[in-house]
Amino acid sequence: MLNERMYHYGAERSVIREIFAYACERKAALGAERVFDFSLGNPHVPAPPAVRASIERSLATLSPAALHGYSPAGGLPEVRAAVAASLNKRYHMAYQPDDVFMTVGAAASLSCALNAVVTPAEEVIVVAPFFPEYRVWIEQAGVRMVVVPAQAEDFTLNLDALASAISPRTAAVIINSPNNPTGVVYTREQLSQLADILRAANNQRQEPIYFISDEPYRDLVSPGVEVPWLPELYEHTMVCYSYSKVLSLAGERVGWVLVPGTMPRSAEIQAAVAGAARALGFVCAPVLFQRVVMDCVDEAADMTAYERNRATLAEALRSHGYHFVEPEGAFYLWVQALESDATAFCNRARNFELLPVPSDSFGISGWVRISYCVSLDCIQASLPAWKALAESYRS
Ligand code: PLP
């Protein structure tokens, strides 16, 4: 018998992937340089040279079994040790290799973290706008997604609304900062206040509410912007990280979940993460790229390219009368559509070969996401089209 839910997840592709597929068709028809695909968060900046060096070293020195064979389910011990050591250095912690479980990107990290701590009939709180795949991962974990809108004016956390959304069924809150799609980075003050709200709620219940911190953009921030280390602020925090964006390795599928050994019941939660990875088929992240992580744990792709892209796009859009959130991190511009229906706006944008993503699947209406991790040439070539699109609303 067909599993209807799986059928729908597969048959109804995400809006982002739909637009990406449309972009590929248009590029084939018109030529790549005439189509402005701002859909996927697929980094254009090359991986740092250390990535190639690591791969070449592995190819030159390792036995076939070490090169392409299975690793332990949670990753090679030396890789987990390298990640733990890097976190200890950066955040002054004392994590052990066992606190880190290597996964197949943040998608798998999130799924493992969720499945480790939720049980049927519970709820997971997300802040809107949110990464659309959260809905799939949360539903697949068998629980209900509770959507709490961010502050309307600046998309920071709405603490009163979050406090009101907490119920005896709340199992976890997903925090994504720097945020996809808004580029907002939550401040230490806001996150500490949210931690206090959760602690107060925990006093009324047996099981704690978990923070699941989704951090693929942690290292993509404007100079001087702090991304607070959440486990420091709240003891029941799991961190989900990925090398998709920081090392430009989105297609290689590698990341990790951290369950700090300092977390109450950490050994059981770590075992549950391992169990979730086993149940979901996410064990043994790609071994070649585990070694890349070990060798490049403190490396990053050239983030100045994103700064340049953002400055170029933001300046032009501002001059054409668009209203957008000034991003502090990630590589997305969150722009108010020029009509209330974001999908209608995106359809009109297609006439100019501009392909942003409407906000509806992110959980709010009236906005679009422009993914600016494309080439500067693409951004510059798109500017007359953004101008013409704005003018089409004035005429
Ligand atoms: N979470 C957020 C907020 C994302 O933007 C993405 C990818 O774009 C993911 C998770 C999934 O990341 P990965 O490619 O590492 O699976």
pLDDT digits (tens, 9 = 90+) for 198-220: 999 999 999 999 999 999 999 99
- Report the residue among 242, 254, 369 best suited for mutation to probe ligand 1: largest number of ligand atoms under 8 A from its CB: 242
Atom of ligand 1 nearest to the CA of 108: 16
The size of the chain, in residues, is 395
Region of residue 381 (left: phi > 0; alpha: psi -120 to 50; beta: else):
alpha
Mutate to test the pocket of ligand 1, among 174, 180, 246 (most ligand atoms within 8 A of CB): 180
Please write the tens of the pLDDT for every residue from 264-313: 999 999 999 999 999 999 999 999 999 999 999 999 999 999 999 999 99
For ligand 1, pick from 16, 38, 133 the residue to mutate: most ligand atoms within 8 Å of CB: 133
Q: Give distance in angstroms: CA of 60 to centre of ligand 1.
A: 32
- Closest residue CA from atom 2 of ligand 1: 131
Can you give the pLDDT of all 395 residues of the chain as single tens digits? 999 999 999 998 789 989 999 999 999 999 999 999 999 999 999 999 999 999 999 999 999 999 999 999 999 999 999 999 999 999 999 999 999 999 999 999 999 999 999 999 999 999 999 999 999 999 999 999 999 999 999 999 999 999 999 999 999 999 999 999 999 999 999 999 999 999 999 999 999 999 999 999 999 999 999 999 999 999 999 999 999 999 999 999 999 999 999 999 999 999 999 999 999 999 999 999 999 999 999 999 999 999 999 999 999 999 999 999 999 999 999 999 999 999 999 999 999 999 999 999 999 999 999 999 999 999 999 999 999 999 999 98
* Ligand 1 mutation pick, 15, 238, 244, max ligand atoms within 8 A of CB: 244
Q: Contact, 334 vs 129, CB < 8 A?
A: yes
Pure H helices in the chain:
4-11, 15-30, 49-61, 64-68, 77-91, 105-117, 133-140, 159-165, 188-202, 230-233, 266-280, 287-295, 304-319, 342-350, 376-394
| Integer Cα distance of 219 and 331 in angstroms | 11
Please tell me if the CB atom of residue 105 comes closer than 6 angstroms to any atom of ligand 1.
yes
Q: Distance from the CA of 169 to the center of ligand 1, in angstroms?
A: 26
Q: Which atom of ligand 1 is nearest to the CA of 179?
A: 3
User: Which atom of ligand 1 sits closest to the CA of residue 176?
Assistant: 3
Q: Which residue intervals of 128-186 are DSSP H helices?
A: 133-140, 159-165
Q: Is 174 in the pocket of ligand 1 (CB under 6 A)?
A: no
- What percentage of the chain reaches a pLDDT higher than 70? 100
Q: What's the whole-model pTM score?
A: 0.96
- Which residue, judged by its Cα, is nearest atom 5 of ligand 1? 180
Distance 110 CA to ligand 1 centre (A): 9
Q: Is 292 in the pocket of ligand 1 (CB under 6 A)?
A: no
